[in-house]
């Protein structure tokens, strides 16, 4: 057991606080012989990096990743750097640790944050920037996800997008994956993205914040991944996504909407195909039946609550049990859900890589 690890055969352990010396992860169980360069991990990290638009925190962290172990550039193989099958340790040094005044956050509990609960649990907390509870920890996930992608079979494609900001859902008829990279919200609906710009500017100027819904889709996943009944693929995805900071709900396929359906509308029918595998006529199930992938796209959505750090004064208490009114200053995201998009992809990749190896262990290489 490890509180700070997930996965079994593709196992990720993360460490580090927001304003400590460094954060990072150890990826254990990675198959040997995969080409891996720091630049590839860096590319994923750069997608998540703060400060890329006015809609994410202005904290500037280069978030430069360093591979400490687990790879080797053998001159016998043309000097190409390959994974060796041993633990891959990645480190990101914290360079933007300005010595600021933390006295307010030190002595009071910010509403919506983990300040009170960390202190209730551990009796103390690293209060600088949220310490371990900071969303900065997700950088380590993204780094691990970059490795996980390499473990998956070539045909697997994992993409995520923001599908709702505050109360405003996208129009799914406008869905265009190419749009995702063209707006600062990772939004697949270009029209919605244009509206979000005005909307979020207003929120930001108010010193307020909003929540979001993220959808992550994995295509090309072979049928058979997932291990009933407590290692179900959807159960592991639920835990993976819920473990992301500020996430309050996770659903697969039709999710909560499926509760309102009747059986004949929900169960995805099938038809025979030429290649011998069934063709599904719908995907209400989100690609998972009985905890096992069906070969259809895996569809997972999760809700991110609004950033708790806002400029409106909030009622709270101090460590010594006095009433206080609190304003969270500092650099914060008006919609922390935006930067959850690359994190969602990373978590999906890690869960799938783990189940791919688990399946190969028990049953052999998937067809």
Q: Is 109 in the site for a second copy (CB under 8 A)?
A: yes
* Two structure tokens written together for 270: 């099938």
Q: What is the 3-state secondary structure (H, E, C) of 82-135?
A: EECCCCEEEEEECCCCCCCCCHHHHHECCCCCCHHHHHHHHCCCCCHHHHHHCH
> What is the DSSP code (8-state) at residue 183?
S
Candidates 189, 204, 293, 346; binder of a second copy (CB under 8 A) is: 293
One symbol per residue from 4 to 23: x for binding a second copy (CB under 8 A), - otherwise; what is it? xxx-xx-x-xxxxx--xxxx
Q: Write each residue from 340 to 359 as x if it is in contact with a second copy (CB under 8 A), else as -, in one continuous string.
A: -----------------xxx
- From 1, 39, 78, 99, residue interacting with a second copy (rule: CB under 8 A): 1
CB under 8 A: which stretch of 49-57, 182-190, 193-201, 306-314 binds a second copy? Answer: 306-314
The answer to the question of residue 278 lying near a second copy (CB under 8 A) is yes
Give the binding range for a second copy (CB under 8 A) out of 53-61, 111-119, 175-183, 184-192. Answer: 111-119
Q: In this chain, which of 173, 178, 198, 262 binds a second copy, going by CB under 8 A?
A: 262
Q: Which of residues 137-196 bind a second copy (CB under 8 A)?
A: 137, 164, 166-167
- Is the CB of residue 351 less than 8 Å from the CB of residue 221? no
C-alpha angle 166-171-177 in degrees, rounded to nearest 5: 100
Nearest distance in Å: CB 186, a second copy:
15
Contacts of 311 (CB under 8 A, 6+ apart): 206, 207, 208, 327, 328, 329
CA-based nearest residue to 54, from 334, 287, 303, 319: 334
Tell me the number of residues near a second copy by CB under 8 A.
Answer: 165
Binding string to a second copy for residues 219 to 258, with x set by CB under 8 A, is what?
Answer: ----xxxxxxxxxx-xxxxxxxxxx-x-xxxxxxxxxxxx
- Stretch of residues binding a second copy (CB under 8 A), selected from 171-179, 180-188, 190-198, 270-278: 270-278
Whether 85 and 30 have beta carbons less than 8 Å apart is answered as: yes
- Candidate residues 286, 298, 345, 349; the one interacting with a second copy per rule CB under 8 A: 286
CA–CA dist 88, 67 (Å, integer): 7
Shortest separation between residue 168's beta carbon and a second copy, angstroms:
8
CA 56 – CA 153 distance, rounded (Å): 33
Q: From the list 47, 59, 112, 150, which residue makes contact with a second copy (rule: CB under 8 A)?
A: 112
Binding segment (CB under 8 A) for a second copy, from list 42-50, 52-60, 182-190, 313-321: 313-321
- 230 CB-near residues (< 8 Å, 6+ apart): none
Half-sphere exposure of 51 (CA within 13 A, CB side): 11
| Shorter beta-carbon distance to a second copy: residue 218 or 225 | 225
When binding is defined by CB under 8 A, the residue of 154, 173, 178, 362 that contacts a second copy is: 362
- How far apart (Å, rounded) are the C-alpha atoms in residues 80 and 73? 5
Q: Considering beta carbons, is residue 178 or 332 the nearer one to a second copy?
A: 332
Q: Which of 178, 305 has the CB closer to a second copy?
A: 305
For a second copy, the closer of residues 178 and 272 by Cβ is 272
Q: What is the DSSP string of 31-63?
A: PTT-B--HHHHHHHHHHH-TTSSTTS-------
Of 61-69, 171-179, 181-189, 193-201, which part binds a second copy (CB under 8 A)? 61-69
Give the residue with the Cβ less far from a second copy, 330 or 361: 361
Which residues make Cβ contacts (< 8 Å) with residue 98, sequence separation at least 6? none
Q: Is 95 one of the binding residues for a second copy (CB under 8 A)?
A: no
CB neighbour class for 99 (10 Å; exposed up to 12, middle 13-18, buried from 19): exposed
Q: How far apart are CA 94 and CA 92, in angstroms?
A: 6
User: Which residues does the annotation place in the binding site?
Assistant: 48, 54, 132-134, 245-246, 290, 305-309, 331
User: Which residues does the annotation place in the binding site for NADP(+)?
Assistant: 48, 54
User: Which residues does the annotation place in the binding site for FMN?
Assistant: 132-134, 245-246, 290, 305-309, 331
């Amino acid at each position: 057991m490890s509180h700070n690890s997930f996965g079994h055969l593709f196992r990720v352990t993360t460490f580090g606080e927001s304003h400590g010396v460094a954060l990072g992860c150890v990826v254990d169980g990675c198959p040997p012989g995969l080409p891996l360069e720091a630049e590839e991990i860096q590319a994923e990290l750069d997608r998540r990096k703060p400060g890329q638009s006015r809609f994410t925190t202005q904290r500037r962290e280069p978030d430069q990743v360093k591979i400490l172990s687990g790879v080797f550039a053998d001159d016998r193989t043309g000097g190409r750097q390959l994974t060796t099958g041993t633990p891959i340790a990645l480190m990101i040094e914290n360079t933007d640790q300005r010595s600021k005044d933390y006295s307010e956050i030190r002595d009071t509990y910010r509403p919506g944050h983990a300040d009170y609960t960390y202190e209730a649990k551990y009796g103390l907390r690293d209060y600088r920037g949220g310490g371990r509870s900071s969303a900065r920890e997700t950088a380590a996930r993204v780094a691990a996800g970059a490795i996980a992608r390499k473990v998956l079979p070539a045909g697997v494609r994992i993409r995520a997008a923001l599908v709702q900001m505050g109360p405003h859902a996208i129009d799914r008829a406008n869905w265009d994956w190419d749009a995702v990279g063209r707006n600062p919200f990772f939004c697949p609906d270009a029209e919605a993205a244009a509206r979000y710009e005005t909307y979020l500017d207003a929120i930001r100027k108010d010193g307020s914040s909003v929540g979001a819904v993220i959808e992550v889709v994995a295509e090309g996943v072979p049928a058979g991944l997932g291990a009933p009944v407590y290692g179900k693929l959807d159960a592991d995805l639920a835990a993976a996504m819920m473990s992301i900071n500020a996430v309050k709900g996770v659903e697969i396929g039709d999710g909560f909407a499926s509760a309102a359906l009747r059986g004949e509308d929900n169960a995805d029918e099938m038809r025979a195909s030429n290649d011998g595998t069934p063709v599904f006529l719908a995907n209400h199930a989100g690609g998972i039946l009985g905890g096992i992938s069906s070969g259809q796209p895996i569809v997972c959505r999760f809700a991110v609550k609004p950033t708790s750090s806002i400029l409106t004064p909030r009622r709270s208490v101090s460590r010594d049990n006095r009433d206080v009114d609190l304003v969270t200053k500092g650099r914060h995201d008006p919609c922390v859900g935006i930067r959850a998009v690359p994190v969602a992809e990373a978590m999906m990749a890690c869960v799938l890589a783990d189940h791919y190896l688990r399946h190969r262990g028990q049953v052999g290489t998937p067809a």
